[in-house]
A and B are shown apart, each in its own frame.
Chain A
Amino acid sequence: MLPELSHEEILRYSRHLLIPEVGLGGQRKLKNSSAQIVGTGGLGSPVSLYLAAAGVGRIGLVDYDVVDTSNLQRQIIHGTSTVGKLKVESAKTKMLDLNPDIQVDAYNEPYTSENALRIARDYDIILDGTDNFPTRYLTNDVAVFLGKPNVYSSIFRFDGQVSVFYAKEGPCYRCLFPEPPPPGLVPSCAEGGVLGVLPGTIGTLQATEALKVLLGIGEPLIGKLLLYNALDMSFDFVKLKKNPNCRVCGPNADIKELIDYEAFCGVPGHDHEEGSAGAGLDITAQELSERVKTNHLKLLDVREPHELEISALPDAVNIPLGQLAARLPELDSAEDMVVFCKGGTRSARALELLASAGFKKVKNLKGGINAWAKEVDANLPIY
């Protein structure tokens, strides 16, 4: 039996009730339905706002982060007043203000192989709005194992992708992407940036697909992938088929339970750029500020040239990470060197590249130029 709507709810959802494809029956269906949203960031913002407004009865939010000022260029569910607060709590407050008739479950915890099945089991659909590869593979596998639709979207700079991965009726995420790209090949949004409105465009499409699946109307993007580019204003659709060799949903699947996704992807399950090159290979901003007083050190900045306009260290040589392999002859392996970027992730990759080319006297500035700005030179901005 579907729940009844109160008079107040009938007024609230009046514009839905007027659409024959939704109507009273559809709205009661939404009230009876539940959705789990992984990530309360760029994509999670519009998705959770619109699902709340639409009257999805129970919405679960999973995120362990706190609101940061650098989120607000795109994460419109949060605000200046909630900087420093838990994202799930900030979002829950906004959603319940928009619609007090729904239930919002806040999971302030990282989404991992330990808790994912337990959390996801109680929801009808899962929405993947996370910001990293390990959590995307985890979200996919959870959806496959529990037999639930995984409404997927992903963004980078000006590009967006949307699909509904539902192994019962079509391909899963792994059918298309059996393996993640090697660490460092695809920059994250924290490293490469993202147009603020892009998650709005893509997230609202993702919310649309979720509502279609919950209502059972229209043609959800099962077996189809939407590719959007904001600069070209292009929408392309491609067809996706089930991969007969898929390791989680194929007939000979050999992955039967959740795995260690950080090990599988070779990157951490979050998008915080606070990179470290590992034990003995890092130098802190404090240590570096002492070292440069007494020793000659070559400073190698592996950021993109346009980032130097934001902040820069005097005397540093700029070779963007993408050009480093080709420009190694410009560097002297006998020289003591410290490599840095914005937060330490790209410079850690640069260190690996330099080490494999025989450079042994190189250190990574832990936390990047942002750590330098925070700990040594307050005149520099943090970005």
Chain B
Amino acid sequence: MPVLRIPTPLRAYTSGQSDVNVNGANISEVLSDLTTQYPTIKPHLFSDSGDLRPFVNLFVGEHNIKDLQGVDTVVEDGDKIMLIPSIAGG
């Protein structure tokens, strides 16, 4: 199954897990599985209307899903999915 890399700021909501194994054939299903496993992460990724928040960047391999098919982007076994956080420290 694909693996989703969780950035440090969001690990508080995945019991500290940095890599979460997720089920799903596309990004939408993968995120649904993630929020089922870790419900408290949901408001950080989705707006109240259920859309992915604009500051949430997801990459499959080295490609942004915004440059692919968005949440319909197909994922396969072993794919590395990364959630890229907005961080501002300096």
Contact = CB atoms under 8 A, between A and B. Distances in A.
A155 B89 contact: yes
Nearest to B57: A176
Given A185-B44, A238-B84, A177 B89 contact: no
A130 interface: yes
B55 A189 contact: no
B64 A240 contact: yes
A158 B44 CA distance: 20
B88 A129 contact: no
A305 to B, nearest CB: 12
Classify chain B: how many residues form its interface, as a range: 20 to 34
Contact of A188 (B63, B66, B89): B89
A206 to B, nearest CB: 10
B15 to A, nearest CB: 12
Interface stretch (B6-14, B28-36, B70-78): B6-14
A131 B89 CA distance: 4
A155 B7 CA distance: 12
Interface residues of A, number: 49
A128 B44 CA distance: 26
A161 B66 contact: no
A43 B85 CA distance: 18
Interface of A: 39, 41-44, 128-133, 136, 153-159, 161, 176-181, 185-189, 192, 194, 199, 225, 227, 229, 231-232, 236-241, 243, 271, 322, 326
B87 A186 contact: yes
Contact of A156 (B44, B84, B87): B87
Contact of A177 (B7, B57, B67): B57
Contacts of A225: 84
B90 A238 contact: no
A176 B12 CA distance: 24
Given A238-B64, A243-B66, A180 B86 contact: yes
A177 B86 contact: yes
B54 interface: yes
Contacts of A181: 53, 55, 86
Interface string B20-62: 0000000000000000000010001000000001110101001
29 contacts: A39-B90, A41-B90, A128-B90, A131-B89, A132-B88, A133-B86, A133-B88, A136-B88, A154-B88, A155-B89, A156-B85, A159-B85, A178-B54, A178-B55, A179-B55, A181-B55, A185-B9, A186-B85, A186-B86, A186-B88, A188-B88, A188-B89, A189-B89, A229-B18, A239-B64, A239-B67, A241-B67, A243-B66, A322-B13
B4 interface: no
Given A156-B9, A177-B55, A237-B62, A130 B82 contact: no
B90 to A, nearest CB: 4
Chain A CB count within 10 A is highest, among B64, B66, B84, B86, for B86
A243 B67 CA distance: 9
* Among all A-B residue pairs, the 7 with the closest Cβ atoms: A189-B89, A156-B87, A131-B90, A43-B90, A155-B89, A156-B89, A179-B54
A227 B82 contact: yes
B24 to A, nearest CB: 20
Given A238-B63, A238-B64, A241-B64, A155 B84 contact: no
Contacts of A136: 88
> Of A39, A42, A192, A199, which is in contact with the most chain B CB atoms at under 10 Å from its CB?
A192
B86 to A, nearest CB: 5
Of B44, B54, B85, most buried by chain A (CB within 10 Å of CB) is: B85
B22 to A, nearest CB: 18
A187 B90 contact: no
A112 B54 CA distance: 25
A231 B86 CA distance: 19
B87 A154 contact: yes
A239 B86 contact: no
A185 B7 CA distance: 13
A158 B18 CA distance: 12
A161 B8 CA distance: 12
A251 B66 CA distance: 18
A183 to B, nearest CB: 12
Nearest to A203: B90
